[in-house]
Structure formats: structure tokens, C-alpha cells
Amino acid sequence: MERGLIFDIERYSTADGPGIRTVVFFKGCNLHCYWCHNPESLKVFPEVDRYEQECIHCGRCVQVCPEKCHVFTETGRVFHSEKCIHCMACTEACPVAALRPIGKWLSVEDCMAQIREDVVFYGKSGGGVTLSGGEVLMQKAFAQALLQRCHAEGIHTAIESNLCVDTAVLEQLIPQLDLVMADIKSMDAPAHIRGTGCGNEKTLRNIRWLDSRNVPLIIRTPVIPGFNDSEDNIAQTAEFLKSLSNLSYYELLSYNPMGNDKRKRLGYPVPEITALPVARMRELARTAASAGIPVWLNGTQYHNIED
């Protein structure tokens, strides 16, 4: 039985494709964007999420951990993540949920049981199911099986992907895909490597390839100050997208700081980033729209009413 490592299933989403959607979040990512707002998605194995303010210092985690990862000191608990074997015994033993699992191995039927609860909303809103992450395509076989089941039950399907994969991976998924949402984080290849750990060549090539196969596309740029927020980068991105025949729209997204608390809990550095002012985001949206493509800004269609 095919299983996937899933860290969340979000219901009633309106931010991950058209209509009301159920979003299945895959764990594991091949990029390491320093601003990532889902840092719990990065690693390819289950993790322990720690809410220290809720800990009652009962010591149950110390008792059940086979690797002695949990140690209590005078200043509180210390968790030695490098020793963790991801057995999740501590999360099961914690009586107050101060330790919580990130990532569970689920079957297609496990996911479908939750998806089916929302089918009535899909039809009325034009929604469906979106596979997100992390990076969906790192678990290609499970993604394909889940998409096939959704299609078999008449459910609209979409994926959110960085597309930094070999095109052969996408070829097997196309028959089960109604929409692809992808990020172009920067048109500058060296900058893309510095910001994400991967170049942009595969992403751009796969966008062109999907367009040639008539797959509807939504392309987005998370606007990160100091990384990709220049007029030139946005203009280059829009010019690239102008050549596509199946672009639904191009969306600019303000930096989202919601991942900072999660980064602290998981031991990742917290970037010093402040989202651009609304006025500046509108200027960048105007730059993109000047290429003659449909533009959205933070979930809303952009209309240049200022000119």
C-alpha cells in the first residue's frame, strides 16, 4: 500500500487554488528558502514539535525516549534533536500535548476519508483538492496515486510545486492534473541559488513544458525584501510569463512572517525580514501588469485604479 508523509490536511482553504479546497501538505522539500513559512515541511522524516510554554515538567518524555533525547535542567528541558530516531514515543506520552508530531504516514484512503467530507463545497465553489508542501514531487508515487483517486471521484486537482525536478517526473502526473501552481522566486539564477539552494533553470524549463502541454498555470512570486523585490526582477518575470498560452494569472505575495515561531521551536534561524509596504507591493503589481498579463496581489485580482 502506497503511503505518504503528510504533515497537515487543511480544510476550507481559499488561498490554494480556485474555490474552496482541501489542501494536503506533503513533508520534505528539495529547496531551503531562508524565508520559508512552513519550516516544518523541510525534512523528509517525522519531527517533534515542542511547545515549551505548555510543558508541565512531568518527565514522561524522559521515561519513554529510547535515545535519551529529553533532558531537564535548572533552566528547563533540553531536546537533543540530533539523537532523535523519530519514534514519536514522547509525543504519545506527553499528557498536555506540549510535544506534537510533525508528519504522519498516511494511505491514499486515509487522505480521501477527509477529502470526501468536503466534496459538497467543491461543486458549489468550483474548488477541489490541492497537494502542497514541502515539495509534492519528492513523493511522486504517492502524489500520483492520490491524484488518480481524486480524478476517479470527479474532484478537481491541483499541485503547488517549485518544479525544481526533472521533467520526466511531471510527465507521469499530467493526466491527473487540472492545474499547476508554481513559484518563480527569482529570474536571476545565482540569486536563486543563494536564496533557495537550487537554480531556477529546471523551474523555468518545466513551466514552458507544462504550457506546451496546455496545463493551466498560476505562477507566483513571494516578494522577499532584499532578495527579489526589484522592479527589474518583477518585470523580467512578467515578460517571461507573457509568452505563455495557458497562464491563468501571475500573483505577487507579500512576505509572510507566520513561520517565525515555528522556526524558533524547530531550531532554525529566524530571518530579519519586514514585509514591503502595501503601496510598494502595488507598484510592483503595476510593473507586472504593464506586460499585459493578468496580475493578482495577495489573493485579490489587481486593478490599476491609480492611473
- Please state, in angstroms and rounded to a whole number, the distance separating the CA atoms of residues 97 and 100: 6
Q: Does the residue 64 lie in any domain? A: yes
Identify whether residues 51 and 176 lie together within a single domain: no
* Whole-angstrom Cα Rg for the chain: 21
- Please state, in angstroms and rounded to a whole number, the distance separating the CA atoms of residues 151 and 145: 10
Identify whether residues 61 and 75 lie together within a single domain: yes
Identify whether residues 58 and 191 lie together within a single domain: no
How large is the angle between the packed helices 140-152 and 108-115, nearest 10 degrees? 40
Identify whether residues 210 and 67 lie together within a single domain: no
Residues of the chain scoring pLDDT < 70: 305-307
pLDDT per position as a tens digit, 91-120: 999 999 999 999 999 999 999 999 999 999
Q: Does the residue 34 lie in any domain? A: yes
Residues ≥6 apart with Cβ < 8 Å to 77: 50, 52, 55, 57, 61, 70, 71
Q: Note the pLDDT of residue 38.
A: 94
Q: Note the pLDDT of residue 49.
A: 95
Identify whether residues 147 and 73 lie together within a single domain: no
How large is the angle between the packed helices 278-289 and 231-242, nearest 10 degrees? 40
Residue 92 belongs to domain spanning: 47-102
Identify whether residues 65 and 197 lie together within a single domain: no
Count the domains in the chain. Answer: 2
The backbone torsions φ and ψ at residue 190, rounded to the nearest 5 degrees and listed phi first, read: -60, -40
CATH for 61: 3.30.70.20
Q: Note the pLDDT of residue 79.
A: 93
Q: Does the residue 14 lie in any domain? A: yes
pLDDT per position as a tens digit, 245-288: 999 999 999 999 988 999 999 888 999 999 999 999 999 999 99
Identify whether residues 84 and 120 lie together within a single domain: no
Supply the pTM of this predicted model.
0.94
Identify whether residues 79 and 129 lie together within a single domain: no
Q: Note the pLDDT of residue 306.
A: 56
Residues ≥6 apart with Cβ < 8 Å to 31: 135, 162, 164, 196, 197, 198
Q: Cβ distance 93 to 61 under 8 Å?
A: yes
Q: Does the residue 18 lie in any domain? A: yes
CATH for 136: 3.20.20.70
CB atoms closer than 10 angstroms to residue 284: 24
Q: Does the residue 306 lie in any domain? A: no
Q: Note the pLDDT of residue 307.
A: 45
Identify whether residues 130 and 255 lie together within a single domain: yes
